[in-house]
Amino acid sequence: MIKRISVGILALALTTSCVSSKVYKDLEDKYADLKKENRELADNNSNLTKERNQLDLQGKDLQSQLDKTKAERDKLAADYAAAQSNLKTLKSSYTALEKNSGAALASNMKKNRELLAQLEAKEKALAAEQERLNKLKGDLQDRSQRVDELESMIANQDASLKTLKETLSKALNGFEGKGLTIEHKNGKVYVSMENKLLFKSGSWMVGSEGHTAVSEVAKVLADNPDIAVLIEGHTDNVPYNGNGQISNNWDLSTKRATAIVGIIKKNKSVDPKNLTAAGRGEYAPIASNETAEGKSKNRRIEIILTPKLDEISQMLNDI
């Protein structure tokens, strides 16, 4: 997909002599973002493969225990058969010795009782081993079923997040090139809006265009009530020099995040319990603060959409 897009970008650049350097730079940035998302998807797939391999190792361990229990059961069965053979021999001897003296007869009867007691003990041990074997089989089947269910849930969740990203991309299509990006990585969807789309310098009042963009996000959230929403405010590393209600960048980033929550809450179909606002100041940059472009990228709002993982966590604990 990335290769096709890059070829298209190159073709457009070669065939259109009047394309501005800004448009060309934007296309390069989009290409870089797509490469980054592809690498992150590969990393996510690698992590899931490692989890599956770990579960396979656990399954092999259970299979090893099962094989060992079978071997123990077979040994007990062999011992049981040998004991039965000895019993038959003793019964024959008992018949022959019935004509002998009372002392010899009593001795053989004692041996018979001892043998019968041993035989009964081995039968009980064999029954216990068989019960343990059956339990191991049941545990192995249950665990395999839970692994299959977990894989299905993870796949469905990943598909839902891809659909959510596509829905957001369509809803926010009109804001492309205005400091807005949407990414699907690490099992989450990230909607990043640079401050130039939302706020004036040093302010936490959302402009009309930014208000429209956030309202479109709220419409999508209203249709996805099972998504947890974290709104993070970020700044560059330039100290805040304003007066009044704001004391520093951290305070400013928090008020900006809260302002975004306020717009989303206006959509009554969004459950406020799913919303969290956080200010991170200048402490989570995504670019260098040594350039004006880097600072612009760092001054942003990130809306992080995370599926609720209670069911998956419970299933992992049960495995």
The pLDDT score that the predictor gives to residue 293 is 93
- Both 67 and 147 in one domain: the answer is yes
| pLDDT band, very low/low/confident/very high, at 19 (cuts 50, 70, 90) | low
Average pLDDT of the residues of the chain: 83
- 27 versus 210: which is more confidently predicted? 210
- Both 310 and 265 in one domain: the answer is yes
Q: What is the mean pLDDT of residues 144-165?
A: 76
Q: What is the mean pLDDT of residues 48-69?
A: 82
- Both 298 and 180 in one domain: the answer is yes
Residue 10 has pLDDT above 70, yes or no: no
The pLDDT score that the predictor gives to residue 54 is 81
- Both 127 and 74 in one domain: the answer is yes
The pLDDT score that the predictor gives to residue 57 is 83
Q: Among 158, 182, 210, where does a domain finish?
A: 158
Q: Output the domain CATH number for residue 224.
A: 3.30.1330.60
The pLDDT score that the predictor gives to residue 315 is 46
The pLDDT score that the predictor gives to residue 249 is 93
- Both 191 and 303 in one domain: the answer is yes
- Both 152 and 179 in one domain: the answer is no
Q: Among 130, 158, 186, where does a domain finish?
A: 158
Residue 37 forms part of a structural domain: no
Residue 99 has pLDDT above 80, yes or no: no
Give the range among 39-48, 71-80, 295-304, 305-314 with minimum mean pLDDT: 305-314
| pLDDT band, very low/low/confident/very high, at 115 (cuts 50, 70, 90) | confident
The pLDDT score that the predictor gives to residue 42 is 84
- Both 131 and 79 in one domain: the answer is yes
- Both 252 and 151 in one domain: the answer is no
The pLDDT score that the predictor gives to residue 62 is 80
- Both 77 and 187 in one domain: the answer is no
The pLDDT score that the predictor gives to residue 210 is 94
pLDDT digits (tens, 9 = 90+) for 215-257: 999 999 999 999 999 999 999 999 988 677 888 999 999 999 9
Residue 104 has pLDDT above 50, yes or no: yes
| pLDDT band, very low/low/confident/very high, at 310 (cuts 50, 70, 90) | low
The pLDDT score that the predictor gives to residue 144 is 65
Q: Among 133, 158, 183, where does a domain finish?
A: 158
Nearest to 72 by CA among 140, 122, 114: 122
Residue 198 forms part of a structural domain: yes
- Both 124 and 191 in one domain: the answer is no
The pLDDT score that the predictor gives to residue 8 is 57
The pLDDT score that the predictor gives to residue 35 is 85
Residue 311 has pLDDT above 60, yes or no: no
| pLDDT band, very low/low/confident/very high, at 312 (cuts 50, 70, 90) | low
The pLDDT score that the predictor gives to residue 160 is 85
Range of the domain at 131: 58-158
- Both 154 and 188 in one domain: the answer is no
- Both 194 and 145 in one domain: the answer is no
The span from the CA of 122 to the CA of 80, in Å, is: 6
Residue 13 has pLDDT above 60, yes or no: no
Domain count, the chain: 2
Q: What is the mean pLDDT of residues 78-92?
A: 83
Residue 4 forms part of a structural domain: no
The span from the CA of 246 to the CA of 236, in Å, is: 16
Residue 1 forms part of a structural domain: no
Residue 316 has pLDDT above 60, yes or no: no
Residue 29 forms part of a structural domain: no
Q: What is the mean pLDDT of residues 264-290?
A: 95
Residue 9 forms part of a structural domain: no
Residue 15 forms part of a structural domain: no
pLDDT digits (tens, 9 = 90+) for 256-275: 999 999 999 999 999 999 99
The pLDDT score that the predictor gives to residue 174 is 85
Residue 292 forms part of a structural domain: yes
Q: What is the mean pLDDT of residues 64-83?
A: 85
Q: Output the domain CATH number for residue 71.
A: 1.10.287
